[in-house]
Each structure stands twice: as structure tokens, then as C-alpha cells.
Structure 1
């Protein structure tokens, strides 16, 4: 049985955070996004960019209300001891900040910017733990509601967030990715 948890991301987590994002996007957005933009978003040049951005987010966030959390998993302590390993490894991440959409009040509404779990570690509760830890931090910071943007064709993410009490709030956007890609804004009350 693995030892699991959620904690604040550290500088040494940045390579694993970046790799988790790339792997999760390649797996989760295949068929949701057009192939060419997805390859550009997950290729070597993009990976370098994401790594720099994650390091900045972890080491020098713009405000104390900007956070990056990681889900970690370590092997069973007895197995780890026998195999000489066992250091917790990053298997998921979440980031949040005050909402930036002009129709929202950033003093009371936050945005879940990222919620990703490595494809080899899905359906093990990491996403739920990350979401719950995020909400705990947001409540401590005085937020009353949270929004997030989701690709309209991402049925897995829509289903997960709907089951946790999120619902569309009527805001939409369309990205030009060689073809129109619709996004929905979901919201939930955490007060």
C-alpha cells in the first residue's frame, strides 16, 4: 500500500511537476484538442517553458494567495526499505490564484488554474485529495467561491468536477487551435 498525501510544492518538485503536466496533457487531451497544438504544448520547447513557469510559480508566486500543491505517493515503507527507495514522488498537482476574469471579484472568488494527475496514478484519489486541499487553502484565504475553465469536450474532467459539486456558470470562451475549441467556466460555492 502506498503512502499518499498533498503538500505545498517545493523547488525540487519542479521537474516532476512539469513532467506530470506534460504526461497528463498528452493522455487527457488526446482527442479533446487538435493533434498539432497538443504536440506543440507538450513538446521539448514547451516543456522548457513550462518548467520555468512552474519554478517561478513555486519559488516566487505573485501573492501569498497563489499556490501550487502536489500530490505525493511513496511506496510501502517496508518495500521502500528493502528496495532502498521510498522517497515520495509527485503524482499530481493543483494550482490556484485569485480569479482574473473581469466579471469576478478576486477578493472573494478564486480560480483553480490546474488540476492534473499523472496518467499512471489516476483513479487512486489523488485528484480528490488535491481538490480538497485546494478548497481548504482557499477557505483559509477568505475565498467564498471558485471557478475553473474546462474544455467542453473533456468529459472526464467535467464528470469529476460535477460529482464534486461544480456546475457551469454560463461563461464560455472559444480558443482558435486550428479549429474552434470551446471552454466552459465551472463554479462552486465553498463558503
Structure 2
């Protein structure tokens, strides 16, 4: 394998982040999301969102590289209360120390090479240094690859489920949670 690395994203990475997001969603989520919804996603809008995220926060964004190629990215931020709350709205004791993986994507052609683990591990370490203790991620019920990935990191479903309106089609998601002291394994 060529030299693989993870580094903080910069504004110079915006175009590649948007390209990876749109391409990966159109490929990996073609069965989960309506074609009309996927076709409406455009590069300019995606770039604007990532430019704002990198300029204004509040989270951190990392990119994974292999050699000269940008192959994936991860955005992680302090978890909003509504994302970490129990179904009845009660907040866990550690709510102020929970972070949320907003997005973690690796282009499918670069998959199974450790990039996702390096991204999650780097982001988790950054938030551990800021006092974070636990992470959450929302994953579509049908996204077996992502569910397997998070489970390999020691995260698992916590019993909380939500259903989103994905262009008129329900998209059921599980909330996964785990320690920021990651134990990634093959």
C-alpha cells in the first residue's frame, strides 16, 4: 500500500471532500435513497457546506490520503443535546462529553485499506484531548458496511432509532455509540 495518512482538512480540500461525498452517496446509497434525491445533490452546494464547516466549525474535519490521493474524510463535532438524548428526551450524565460523527466516508474503491479506522481514530483522539469520552453516529439500518465498521471499533447500537424523510421515502437509522478510546480491529 502507498503511504496512508490522516490530516486536518483545509479549505484547499473542499472540492475533494464534496466530490467524495457526492460520489460515495450516489454509489453506496443508491438503494437507500430515491434517485431523484441523489440527482438533486450538486457540487456547488456541497462545496459551500464544507467551506462553511471548515471556516466556522464547530466541529473538526479530517481527510484521509493514500499517496497523492484524497480518499476519504470524517467530520466530528460536539453532539447536540437532541442527538444524544434518550427517546424520552432525558440526557445521559455524560451528555457534555459526547461527540457525534456527522460524516465518515471513504470512497468505495479505496475501502478495506484502514482509511476509515484511521479517520475515526484520529478524530476520536482529538476530542479525547478536549475532554470527550464517548461518540455517537447515526447509520442507516440497511448500511451493513457502516454498521460493521463501527462495531469493529467497539461501538454498537444503543436502542435508539429514528426515521427520517428521505425524499418521501422513510430512512430508518440506528444510533451507535462507543468510547473514544478506540480498539479498531480487522
Instruction: Provide TM-score, normalisation by structure 2.
Output: 0.86
Please list, as runs of the form range in 1=range in 2, the aligned pairs for 1:167-186 lying within 5 A after superposition.
167-177=156-166, 178-186=168-176
1:91 corresponding residue in structure 2? 71
1:49 corresponding residue in structure 2? 45
| Secondary structure in 2 matching 1:32 | coil
- Pick one of 35, 42, 59 that aligns with 2:55: 59
Shift of 1:27: 1.4
Q: Deviations over 1:47-81 (max 9, x none)?
A: 2111011011112223xxx100000121xxxxxxx
Instruction: Provide TM-score, normalisation by structure 1.
Output: 0.84
CA–CA distance in structure 2, aligned partners of residues 60 and 89 of structure 1: 26
Alignment coverage as a number of residue pairs:
171
2:134 corresponding residue in structure 1? 145
Preserved CA contact (<8 Å) 1:98 1:106: no
- Pick one of 92, 98, 113 that aligns with 1:124: 113
Preserved CA contact (<8 Å) 2:33 2:169: no
1:188 paired with 2:178, answer yes
Find runs of 4+ consecutive structure 1 residues off by over 6 angstroms: none
CA–CA distance in structure 2, aligned partners of residues 69 and 176 of structure 1: 28
1:8 paired with 2:3, answer no
User: Alignment RMSD, CA only?
Assistant: 1.5
Larger Rg: 1
Gaps of 5+ in 1: 75-87
1:26 corresponding residue in structure 2? 26
